[in-house]
Amino acid sequence: MAENREPRGAVDADLDPVEYTLRKRLPHRLPRRPNDIYVNMKTDFKAQLARCQKLLDGGTRGQNACTEIYIHGLGLAINRAINIALQLQAGSFGSLQVAANTSTVELVDELEPETDTREPLTRIRNNSAIHIRVFRVTPK
């Protein structure tokens, strides 16, 4: 997932790149329920949309359809998460509603030393995230 650009510049400024290598760690993740969808920028947009649609529709007869799903997007993928949610809503003829929440996620950057005498450092960097709840409403 994409990262915020401002903190990076700051990191670059006060650390000698010859002495440290930047290694980005995975964001801390909570255990995933079946109706949680984490959106990324690598998978095809259509595939992710189809996946969400499938979850909402359930099987062939709709036996285990979810009444609500959560779409999570981090950083650059926020756009796409919103896009997916809106597409779902537009394609549902009014039976789906969305509710968005935003949050800030702490990301850990590890700075690996290149010399023996330095300790490895960790930096915390903040990134915005969005959590969209897409749920079914009974049409009147």
Of 26, 24, 6, nearest to 123 by C-alpha is 24
Binding site for other proteins (CB under 8 A): 12, 17-18, 21, 23-26, 28-32, 42, 106, 108, 110, 113-120, 122, 124
Sign of CA dihedral 114, 116, 117, 123: positive
Nearer to other proteins, 102 or 122 (CB): 122
Smallest gap from Cβ 63 to other proteins, in A, equals 23
Supply the minimum distance, in Å, between the C-beta of residue 87 and other proteins.
24
Q: Are strands 96-113 and 20-24 parallel, antiparallel or unpaired?
A: antiparallel
Residue 57 vs 114, nearer CB to other proteins:
114
Give the number of other CB atoms < 10 A from CB of residue 60. 6
Confirm if 134 and 106 have CB atoms less than 8 A apart: no
Return the number of the residue (32 or 54) whose C-beta is nearest other proteins: 32
Q: Which is nearer to other proteins, 94 or 113 (CB)?
A: 113
Q: How far is the CB of 32 from other proteins (least distance, A)?
A: 8
CB of residue 108 vs other proteins: minimum separation in angstroms? 6
Conformation bin of residue 94: beta by default, left when phi > 0, alpha when psi is -120 to 50: left
